[in-house]
Amino acid sequence: MCFFKKYKYWIIIILIVVLAVAIDLLTKSYFFEKELDLISGVISIFFIWNPGAAWGILGDSTIFLILFSIIIIVGILIFNNKFKQKTVFYSIGIGLVIGGAIGNLVDRLIFGAVRDFISLDFLSFINFPILNLADAFLTFGAIILVINFLFFYKEDKSFKKSE
């Protein structure tokens, strides 16, 4: 059996993770301490340090957030290893979630806080948090996984008891 065919979904996941982490860390460095109005009233660059999670939740809990991130990443990898119905769509979702988690984990390990810089100004009426690409990757990856499990997942009926 061809190596690529056997490990196709793992290869996709690894490529997505590497790309997501690289893009996240590069953009965090590029926009470090910058302020730019990209589309007035819609989106801007406004750099902040975020010691917590979204909306500053768990603000001074860096150690907890580091451990939580590691546990989630390991849990996803274990789940992925056991999950049999892999597709390209599913693999992209898993890769984005892991890549986003690693991007923010790297910041927490190195700086003790996450570098956020994307301000969605059109959502300011709900006090929407400033975010980074790792946050976006996590969100889009989770959405992809939800869509995958709602619409494409086929329950394995071989494990159900016959009545």
**Domain layout of the chain by residue ranges:** 8-150
- Going by the DSSP 8-state scheme, the letter that residue 2 receives in this structure is -
Q: What percent of the chain has pLDDT over 90?
A: 70
Q: Per-residue confidence at 126, pLDDT binned at 50, 70, 90?
A: confident
Q: If you average pLDDT over residues 107-123, what whole number do you get?
A: 94
Backbone angles phi, psi at 8, to 5 degrees: -50, -50
Q: Enter the tokens of residue 161.
A: 């008891």
Confirm whether 37 is a catalytic residue: no
Residue whose entry in the numeric block shows the structure tokens 């065919």: 5
Across 106-115, average pLDDT: 95
- What was the pLDDT predicted at 83? 84
> Does residue 66 or residue 3 have the better pLDDT?
66
Contact indicator for 129, 117 with CB cutoff of 8 Å: no
Average pLDDT over residues 113-139: 92
Q: Which of 24, 60, 135, 156 is catalytic?
A: 135
Instruction: Kindly give, in sequence order, each residue whose CB lies less than 8 Å from that of residue 124, ignoring residues fewer than 6 positions away.
Output: none
Residue 159 has pLDDT above 50, yes or no: no
Q: What is the pLDDT of residue 64?
A: 92
Mean pLDDT computed over every residue of the chain = 89
